[in-house]
Structure 1
Amino acid sequence: MYLLRPTQVFMLSGFAAAIGVCAPVSAALIADSTAVLDTRNFYMNRDFRQDNAPQSKAEEWAQGFMLRFESGYTEGPIGVGFDAIGLLGVKLDSSPDRVGTGILKSDREAPKRAQDAYGEAGFTAKLRASNSTLKLGTLQPVLPAVMRNDSRLLPVTFRGAWLNSNEVKGLNLDLGRLDRINQRDSSDNQEMTVYNGSKRNIVLGSSKTSDEFLFGGGRYQWTPQLATSYYYGGLDGIYKQHLVNLVHQIPLGEGQSFKTDIRYAHSTDDGGSNVDNDAFGALFNYRLGGHGFTAGYQHMSGDTGFAYIAGADNALINLVQINDFGNQDERSWQLRYDFDFASVGIPGLSLMTRYLSGDNVDRGAGLSEGKTWERNTDIAYVVQSGPLKNVGLRLRNATTRSNFGSNLDENRFIVSYSLPLW
């Protein structure tokens, strides 16, 4: 639930008053509104294959509901509106010896048990002037500096303020401040911290969490084929980060294209950690009809691994189902193949498979280099007609092995459906 500060209560009161005053002449506020109910049935099984694992298996099944409402704006030079989101997760199957998939909220005390249900409600006030929008409240940004995670039953949400501007053709600007995160298996807004699992080797000072994440930057579309971006993100007292990106796509004729995606991030400490990382990644994709062939390379350097908000996603090219290959000094590559069965007369069916390998991880003094590999397969189908039209089915399989992390075999099966309410 979004808890308002006194100043924010005052601002929202002003918004509400504005809506009340403008209501007679602001039919667009309601006429332009949308409401969608997203449902997601999620089964996940994760087998731990390493010796002496404290838990042999994590296996749970749950049903998720996501109700999303977006209003239009009142008329006038400054339009006022509001959004709302309701999230609910319901347990279908779990047990204390199988918790920990991340799709259900579990008790904090031992023995941990998945709760029968959990959820949250989020509200966002918004102002629009010309082609700029200011949002205050529950946010779900997908930007290089900060990305919500939506890989389980319910998505991660943030609390804060976010200004987006598109006043110049081709230029998209963002500026914002976040103070809380609500994790995917939680119903509580919490302070943020940096992800420090695996072999990130990040050392924090006295402050383990922060209540301020500042971000800003922009993306410019130079031509229909070329775009570049720069973003800054800083978790107060923990780390500062600069990210640049170049995407270039070359049409090669009918049904063919070649795409280059180059990313670089420079991360340093902000007085309360030892964060020091340079991350470089490059993806190259060739499409031929329904076929997609991708190769990628990623390199970490510096005294730590890549830094980002714990629980969120990040901008690394090798962020995949289980790993992101962002450990200290890690070098990694991937090969990927995609196929769209619409090209052979089966619309709605798609296949993705990839293999990634990482090495040169700093495991500490006197230890050999760390190595990891991961294999993913993703098969998806969206029903095209009949009473089940638009129902989505997805099977995700992953296997990973490492000499410093967990050895895992994992399966996820997801059934999804979106119902427009108006």
Structure 2
Amino acid sequence: MQFNFGTVMPVLCAGAALGMVGSAHADFLGDSKSTLELRNFYMNRDFRQAGAAQNKAEEWAQGFMLRLESGYTEGPVGLGIDAIGMLGLKLDSSPDRVGTGLLKTNAVGPKRAKDEYGESGFTAKVRISKSTLKLGTLQPVLPPLMRNDSRLMPQTFRGAWLASNEIEGLNLDLGRLDRVNQRDSSDNEVMTVFNGGKRNIVLGSAKTSDEFLFGGGRYQWNPTLSTSYYYGGLDGIYKQHLINLVHQLPLGGGQSLKSDIRFAHSGADGGSNVDNDALGALFTYKMLGHSFSAGYQQLSGRTGFAYVNGADDALLNQVQINDFGNRDEHSWQVRYDYDFAALGYPGLTLMTRYLSGDNVARGAGLSEGKTWERNTDLGYVIQSGPLKNLALKLRNATTRSNFLSDLDENRLIVSYSLPLW
């Protein structure tokens, strides 16, 4: 049986609201909270390869995100409702610099950024014991599906999500989604698979899908070890199994070694040719304010890694521009982080990393595909005074490839979250 969330959501939200009127109490009201997030975002992306159709994408925008979260009504079955409202305003753009993903563009005619765009969403929620069912606007951050929040507005999905914590240390998730609202859009749309670069994914009769199913769980064996298994499937396109192990080894004297090992198997569903195994391992050594990381990721199979278009994915080498998830790609990364709190400057952080990928299957008669990317992030969060918690981040990235676009990119993000109650 197919459920139309667009039809049932207003009814569910209204039902939840009526239930609250009859049984609202201190927990429902007292546990409610509201925040207003302000996000000012400047981004420029220079296209460095010869013959590029557009020399540069450069835009500046201001975003507002109002989040309302209720508590739950009393009794064995608690009811609640959440809401989100988002507004994006154009500060600077032009037809020859459009396309950063910050702003919504017109659907027909020459590509231009709209002066403003907005959206709203509602989520009805039901809590029984330590299990919660949410219906409506969702922002999952789970191995099979991670909403993208790397621009002015976050990506959202529409559907149902049951999260259970009945067993201590065990988190279980089960859900179904039928629509996606991309980060530079205000429309709910059907979903499809990302097929950029050299993914080599060939679709059958199903080019889009209105059903993404996910389920699985994470178990915390002890304070230093956790494992997880998740399933995710885009109906008619692909199905995927993901396994993850994270171990934190204390070494004493402010030192530790973290291991993050991931494996994913993706197969066809319907008429597609999706076939991929992805194995990755990242090791991080921390010493006081320093963190040194090294990782390796290897893909094999007839296609590259499959995931919902527009979302983030579970690959270890997914970074600012690339994810190194092309067919047969082998990649490695080295990374360094420093927290200046160790020097008496809390709130100031630095991250820099370098990644290199090769062995990409470009096609018969072509040499292997190669890509490298370099990222640097410098961030500061004001710790006190009237601007406490105001965050500033400067992000720089450079990538070069023999089969993808050559890019130089800068982002400047100023954000502030203001609790309203």
Instruction: Report the TM range for the smaller structure's normalisation.
Output: over 0.9
* Counterpart residue number, 1:222: 221
* Counterpart residue number, 1:258: 257
SS at match of 2:142: coil
SS at match of 2:145: coil
Contact 2:13/2:122 (CA < 8 Å) preserved in 1?
Answer: no
Note the C-alpha offset of 1:389.
1.6
Contact 2:13/2:81 (CA < 8 Å) preserved in 1?
Answer: no
* Counterpart residue number, 1:391: 390
* Counterpart residue number, 1:375: 374
For the residues of structure 2 that align with 1:262 and 1:181, how far apart are their CA atoms? 29
For the residues of structure 2 that align with 1:254 and 1:350, how far apart are their CA atoms? 21
Please identify, of 100-109 and 183-192, the stretch whose mean Cα deviation from structure 2 is larger: 100-109
1:5 and 1:86, CA in 2 relative to 1: closer, same or farther beyond 3 A? closer
Note the C-alpha offset of 1:10.
4.2
For the residues of structure 2 that align with 1:419 and 1:7, how far apart are their CA atoms? 32
**CA offsets 1:263-286 (integer angstroms, 9 cap, x no match):** 000000101311000000000000
* Counterpart residue number, 1:400: 399
For residue 20 of structure 2, what is the amino acid of its counterpart?
A: I
For the residues of structure 2 that align with 1:167 and 1:413, how far apart are their CA atoms? 42
For the residues of structure 2 that align with 1:10 and 1:158, how far apart are their CA atoms? 18
Note the C-alpha offset of 1:244.
0.3
* Counterpart residue number, 1:336: 335
SS at match of 1:97: coil
SS at match of 1:98: coil
* Counterpart residue number, 1:213: 212
Note the C-alpha offset of 1:385.
1.8
For the residues of structure 2 that align with 1:201 and 1:122, how far apart are their CA atoms? 35
* Counterpart residue number, 2:360: 361
For residue 289 of structure 1, what is the amino acid of its counterpart?
A: L
* Counterpart residue number, 2:137: 138
Say yes or no: does 1:15 pair with 2:26: no
Note the C-alpha offset of 1:19.
1.5
For the residues of structure 1 that align with 2:383 and 2:186, how far apart are their CA atoms? 35
* Counterpart residue number, 1:288: 287
Say yes or no: does 1:175 pair with 2:170: no
SS at match of 2:17: helix
Note the C-alpha offset of 1:206.
2.1
Say yes or no: does 1:412 pair with 2:411: yes
For residue 398 of structure 2, what is the amino acid of its counterpart?
A: T
For the residues of structure 2 that align with 1:390 and 1:10, how far apart are their CA atoms? 38
**CA offsets 1:280-323 (integer angstroms, 9 cap, x no match):** 00000000000000000000000000000000001100000000
Note the C-alpha offset of 1:7.
4.2
For the residues of structure 1 that align with 2:104 and 2:220, how far apart are their CA atoms? 41
For residue 359 of structure 1, what is the amino acid of its counterpart?
A: D
* Counterpart residue number, 2:79: 80
1:42 and 1:9, CA in 2 relative to 1: closer, same or farther beyond 3 A? closer
For the residues of structure 2 that align with 1:242 and 1:136, how far apart are their CA atoms? 24
SS at match of 1:237: coil
For the residues of structure 2 that align with 1:393 and 1:18, how far apart are their CA atoms? 42
Please identify, of 39-48 and 200-209, the stretch whose mean Cα deviation from structure 2 is larger: 200-209
SS at match of 2:29: helix
SS at match of 1:351: strand
Note the C-alpha offset of 1:5.
4.2
Write the mapping of 1:140-155 to structure 2, written as runs, cut at 5 A.
Answer: 140-155=139-154
Please identify, of 407-416 and 100-109, the stretch whose mean Cα deviation from structure 2 is larger: 100-109
For residue 147 of structure 2, what is the amino acid of its counterpart?
A: R
For residue 286 of structure 2, what is the amino acid of its counterpart?
A: R
SS at match of 1:96: coil
For residue 81 of structure 1, what is the amino acid of its counterpart?
A: G
What is the identity percentage for the equivalent residue pairs of Structure 1 and Structure 2?
74
For the residues of structure 2 that align with 1:12 and 1:412, how far apart are their CA atoms? 38
Note the C-alpha offset of 1:108.
2.0
Note the C-alpha offset of 1:203.
0.7
Note the C-alpha offset of 1:9.
4.4
For the residues of structure 1 that align with 2:47 and 2:5, how far apart are their CA atoms? 42
Indicate the RMSD between aligned Cα atoms, in angstroms.
Answer: 1.0
**CA offsets 1:111-151 (integer angstroms, 9 cap, x no match):** 11100001100000000011000000000000001100000
1:10 and 1:184, CA in 2 relative to 1: closer, same or farther beyond 3 A? closer
Write the mapping of 1:298-313 to structure 2, written as runs, cut at 5 A.
Answer: 298-313=297-312
For the residues of structure 2 that align with 1:331 and 1:11, how far apart are their CA atoms? 47
For residue 51 of structure 1, what is the amino acid of its counterpart?
A: A
Note the C-alpha offset of 1:110.
3.0
For the residues of structure 1 that align with 2:381 and 2:78, how far apart are their CA atoms? 37
* Counterpart residue number, 2:65: 66
Write the mapping of 1:227-246 to structure 2, written as runs, cut at 5 A.
Answer: 227-246=226-245
For the residues of structure 2 that align with 1:105 and 1:215, how far apart are their CA atoms? 29
For the residues of structure 2 that align with 1:226 and 1:4, how far apart are their CA atoms? 38
Contact 2:5/2:159 (CA < 8 Å) preserved in 1?
Answer: no
**CA offsets 1:197-222 (integer angstroms, 9 cap, x no match):** 01101011122100000000000000
Note the C-alpha offset of 1:12.
3.5
TM-score (norm 1): 0.98
* Counterpart residue number, 2:246: 247
For the residues of structure 1 that align with 2:256 and 2:8, how far apart are their CA atoms? 51
For the residues of structure 1 that align with 2:349 and 2:357, how far apart are their CA atoms? 27
For the residues of structure 2 that align with 1:352 and 1:377, how far apart are their CA atoms? 6
1:8 and 1:102, CA in 2 relative to 1: closer, same or farther beyond 3 A? closer
Say yes or no: does 1:325 pair with 2:320: no
Contact 2:9/2:136 (CA < 8 Å) preserved in 1?
Answer: no
For residue 301 of structure 1, what is the amino acid of its counterpart?
A: S
* Counterpart residue number, 1:197: 196
For the residues of structure 2 that align with 1:100 and 1:66, how far apart are their CA atoms? 22
For the residues of structure 2 that align with 1:11 and 1:89, how far apart are their CA atoms? 28
* Counterpart residue number, 1:349: 348
Contact 2:199/2:305 (CA < 8 Å) preserved in 1?
Answer: yes
Contact 2:38/2:64 (CA < 8 Å) preserved in 1?
Answer: yes
